[in-house]
Amino acid sequence: MDHVMYAINCGGDAHTDANGIRYRKDYLKSGITSDYGRNSFISRVSREDMALYQTERYDLNSFSYEIDLVDDGDYVLWMKFAEVWFNAPNMKVFQVLLNNEHSVIDELDIFAKAGRATAHDEYIPFQIKNGRLVVKSRSSSYSGKVKVTFEKFDNKDNPKINAIIIWKGSVDQIPKLPPKSESEQPEVEKEVEDEKPTKAAKVKRTLKPSGPTVLDPYTDDQSSSLMPLFIAIAAVIPIIFCLCRF
C-alpha cells in the first residue's frame, strides 16, 4: 500500500495482512521475543491476521525501534497490541515515547482498553516539517529517524509491542478494527445484580413447609368440624349405661 512507509511484525515472521500491508520479519536484537500468544484465539481480527497479535517483543525495562523517515509530511504511528497473559487491569502498564522527547502514551494498560486476547490498535499522528518532529503541537529537532521506545512504568509488568506501522496520511484513512462485541466486554457486576432477584424468587417458589398443616383449634371452622364427634359420644353413653346395669 502506498500509505505504508514501514511495517514490522514484532517478534514474528514476515506477514501480509487482509489489507495488503506487508510486514517484515522482526530484526531487532534488543529485548525478548515471545509467541506465547499462539495459545490464544484473538478476537476482533480475522484468523489469518491473528499472527500479528500472537507474537510480540518485550523487555524487562525498555527497548526501541529506529525507523528511517526523511520526507516531510503527515504521518501516523500505528501500533498493534493484545494482552495474552494477564486477566486483570493494572498489571501490565507502560509508556510509549517518540525520539526520547515526546511521551505519546503515558500509561498504556492493554487489558483495561480491550480485555484479554482481544486486538487493540493505537494511533499517534505526528508531522515532519523543516527538520522538526511535531507531536501534539510540540516540536523537537529531527535528524531523519523516528525512534519508538516502549518503557517500563513504575513497578508494573514489562512493556511490549505486537506490530508497528508508519502510515503516511491521516488516522481517518487507516483501516480500523471492527468494534468489540458485547460478548467480548461482559458487564460482570451487572450480571451478578440481575441474578440475585432471580435466585431469590426461585427460593420462594420452592419453599416447602416443615410438617403437616395444623388447624387452629380456636377458629370457628375447627369447632364445627368436631360436631360429628360430639353426636357419636352422646349416642354411645346410653349403651354403656345399660351394659353397666347388667
Domain 4-173 has CATH 2.60.120.430: yes
Q: How confident is the model at residue 233 (pLDDT cuts 50, 70, 90)?
A: low
Q: How confident is the model at residue 8 (pLDDT cuts 50, 70, 90)?
A: very high
How many residues in the chain? 246
Domain residue ranges of the chain, discontinuous segments joined by +: 4-173
Q: Give per-residue pLDDT as tens, 32-41.
A: 999 999 999 9
Q: Give per-residue pLDDT as tens, 127-146.
A: 999 999 999 999 999 999 99
The arrangement of strands across the sheet holding 62-68 comes to 62-68, 145-152, 94-98, 102-108
pLDDT at 195: 42
User: Alpha-carbon torsion 221, 225, 231, 233, what sign?
Assistant: negative
Cα dist. 117→111, 136, 197, 230 in Å? Answer: 9, 30, 32, 81
- Asked if 6 and 160 touch (Cβ cutoff 8 Å), the reply is no
Q: How confident is the model at residue 1 (pLDDT cuts 50, 70, 90)?
A: confident
pLDDT at 81: 98
pLDDT above 90 as % of the chain: 72
Identity of the residue numbered 209: P
Q: Give per-residue pLDDT as tens, 158-204.
A: 999 999 999 999 999 999 999 987 665 534 333 334 444 444 333 33
Identity of the residue numbered 150: F
pLDDT at 142: 98
- The distance between the two most distant Cα atoms of the chain, rounded to a whole number of Å, is 139
Q: Give per-residue pLDDT as tens, 63-110.
A: 999 999 999 999 999 999 999 999 999 999 999 999 999 999 999 999
pTM of the model: 0.74
